[in-house]
Amino acid sequence: MIMTVNGQTKTCGLIGNPVEHTLSPVIHNMLAEITGRNLVYVPFRVEGENLADAVKGAAALGIQGLNVTVPYKERIIPFLEGVDALAQRIGAVNTLVQAPGGYKGYNTDMPGLYRAMLSDGVSVDGEDVIILGAGGVARAVAVMLSEKAGRIFILNRTEQKADAIAEEVNGYAGRQAVKAMPLSSWKDLPDGKYLAVQATSVGMHPCIDDVLIADADFYKRIHTGYDLIYNPFETRFMKLVQKEGGQAFNGLKMLLYQGIIAYELWNGLSVSEKQADRIYERLKESL
Ligand code: NAP
């Protein structure tokens, strides 16, 4: 499956800790194969104290591009030569692209989620949205949706974190786009139907029976539920959405498209929907 490694082979990779369970090599090595690039993608487990050296060393070795995962998406920024405007606004970088003197940082997670939604036929334009969670990803989702969605309600166990996101995003959106609420007061949400994005780690393997809100009345308000978790393939959140008549999606396509957008940045090409579909099928088999 992997093409022959020779003197012209380029290397891309992933920096994180841990990296042993990553699906990114599946995405990128298959992309290399189907787009005919002489490229290999490998995971690099990096200890925190070595992060600066790792970035410098990768640049010195001519590593063509890197993804960045937990826990370095924010911590890596000081070691970069520049940061793209969207990544700056989100405050997190998941993709490094070669630039004079080192790497420039990008965030492909959010464009990845947007492209996943397009692929699933889910529109965010003018939609009222509930975001569950106020961690790094929830913050990025709020940034992305503040430009396109209607009202955004961000609900989190720790209310101060939701408050901080609302204040910041409203500041640069120039409108009161985001309202923070404690998780426990979901019954105070205005009447209506919502697109809901589940952006917490609750329900992730192995705790697959966990769910943030179990009350069926909550799910009656949701026409579309997006869980950013992809293991299990169908989370309890998704099942509850579907039980009340909504449509539900997991985070596997977001993972796929964040990888595809990174690959497009590294190689200056466009990956077709047909190629994306092939990789998606392979990803499902790899779960
Ligand atoms: P994070 O910064 O650690 O935030 C975790 C969030 O989960 C916080 O809002 C936290 O609430 C909440 N939470 C955790 N345990 C909880 C519990 N027992 N009860 C209530 N709330 C709880 O994580 P993140 O980086 O934003 O990632 C969030 C999720 O997105 C993860 O599941 C990850 O797998 C997923 N993700 C998916 C993709 C993809 O490509 N599909 C990419 C990145 C991340 P508090 O603030 O109250 O602690």
Q: Give the separation between CA 127 and CA 80, rounded to whole angstroms.
A: 36
**Cα torsion for 117, 121, 125, 131, to the nearest 10°?**
-40
- Position in ligand 1 atom list of the atom nearest CA 139: 26
Q: Give ligand 1 pocket residues (Cβ under 6 A).
A: 109, 133-138, 156-158, 161, 199-202, 204, 212, 228-230, 251, 254-255, 258
Query: Is pLDDT above 60 for 102?
Result: yes
Tokens representing residue 187 in the block: 């019954």
pLDDT at position 172: 85
Q: What percent of the chain has pLDDT over 70?
A: 99
Q: Give the separation between CA 132 and CA 230, rounded to whole angstroms.
A: 16
pLDDT at position 149: 95
Q: Give the separation between CA 275 and CA 30, rounded to whole angstroms.
A: 10
Grade residue 79 by pLDDT with cuts at 50, 70 and 90.
very high
Interior/surface letters 195-213, b for 16+ CB within 10 angstroms, e for the rest: bbbbbbebbbeeeeeebbb
- Position in ligand 1 atom list of the atom nearest CA 132: 9
**If you take atom 34 of ligand 1, which residue's CA is the nearest one?**
229
Grade residue 119 by pLDDT with cuts at 50, 70 and 90.
very high
Grade residue 23 by pLDDT with cuts at 50, 70 and 90.
very high
- For the segment 27-70, what is each residue's pLDDT rounded down to a tens digit? 999 999 999 999 999 999 999 999 999 999 999 999 999 999 99
What is the Å distance from ligand 1's center to 228 Cα?
9
Grade residue 4 by pLDDT with cuts at 50, 70 and 90.
confident
Over residues 177-193, the mean pLDDT reads 96
Over residues 149-172, the mean pLDDT reads 95
Query: Is pLDDT above 60 for 2?
Result: no
- For the segment 202-246, what is each residue's pLDDT rounded down to a tens digit? 999 999 999 999 999 999 999 999 999 999 999 999 999 999 999
Mean pLDDT, the chain, rounded, equals 96
- 3-state secondary structure string, 107-172? CCHHHHHHHHHHHCCCCCCCCCEEEECCCHHHHHHHHHHCCCCCCEEEEECCHHHHHHHHHHHHHH
pLDDT at position 3: 65
Over residues 138-151, the mean pLDDT reads 93
What is the Å distance from ligand 1's center to 125 Cα?
25
